[in-house]
Structure 1
């Protein structure tokens, strides 16, 4: 019988937790966790999920698509039908869009946040 587990938090290593939290807050509209500080910042979703960012000395961003510094994980966000609008806003906020895009651009796109973490936008 499988365990019944619910995700409570996803935490990403980064060099500057407040800056990455601010980027993700603008991108997602999530609320800043009240116990955020210079070494750990978090964003809270209504269902209780925490998206956390923890300071790591000598942080090295993942490389894409190479594996010299593996991506380790990526997060996918659904954005409705307006991928172009979502892309424009994320680039304005400081995201990058790698040249290598493995999916049909009409249904999914790969980006990196300001700390270099990969994430995807998908049409829902």
Structure 2
């Protein structure tokens, strides 16, 4: 690690249901909860899920979810509310893109744009359950 630069720990997404959005990305990306942020047992109040949750990948970088009372959904690609941020996710080939497309929809993503047939960069653009846009596209590993 180079201590001349800050360390990127998390990308934080505001949302009105932190647990639901964390579960969506946990399943989509195979991430793990930070210790203590796991869902509580049935019948126990989800105190942490009403405030702030963190998921981590094997590289240590994660996604965090911050509960807010209200969040206007982006209207991207048109309209008055831009996306301001989106996540780019990639897979190595079109077959894996098709499989991840089905998974994303099954987990609750909403398709915004279908560019699967693009010869240069096959991709799908989605909105997650909170309305944040994200892409899954074919790109070389690395």
| TM-score, scaled to structure 1 | 0.87
* Structure 2 partner of 1:72: 84
Q: For residues 33 and 78 of structure 1, what CA distance do their matches in structure 2 show? A: 24
Gaps of 5+ in 2: 38-47
Match of 1:40 among 52, 56, 65: 52
Per mean C-alpha deviation after superposition, the further-off stretch among 78-87 and 34-43 is: 34-43
* Structure 2 partner of 1:90: 104
SS at match of 1:26: helix
* Structure 2 partner of 1:114: 129
* Structure 2 partner of 1:27: 28
| TM-score, scaled to structure 2 | 0.77
Match of 2:71 among 59, 63, 72: 59
Q: CA deviation at 1:101?
A: 4.7
Structure 2 contact 115–122 (Cα < 8 Å) conserved: no
SS at match of 1:24: helix
Structure 1 contact 35–41 (Cα < 8 Å) conserved: no
Q: CA deviation at 1:67?
A: 3.9
Q: For residues 92 and 73 of structure 1, what CA distance do their matches in structure 2 show? A: 23
Aligned pair count reads 121
* Structure 1 partner of 2:15: 14
Q: For residues 35 and 72 of structure 1, what CA distance do their matches in structure 2 show? A: 30
Q: CA deviation at 1:44?
A: 0.5
Structure 2 contact 16–130 (Cα < 8 Å) conserved: yes
**In terms of Rg, which structure is larger?**
2
Cα root mean square deviation, aligned: 1.9
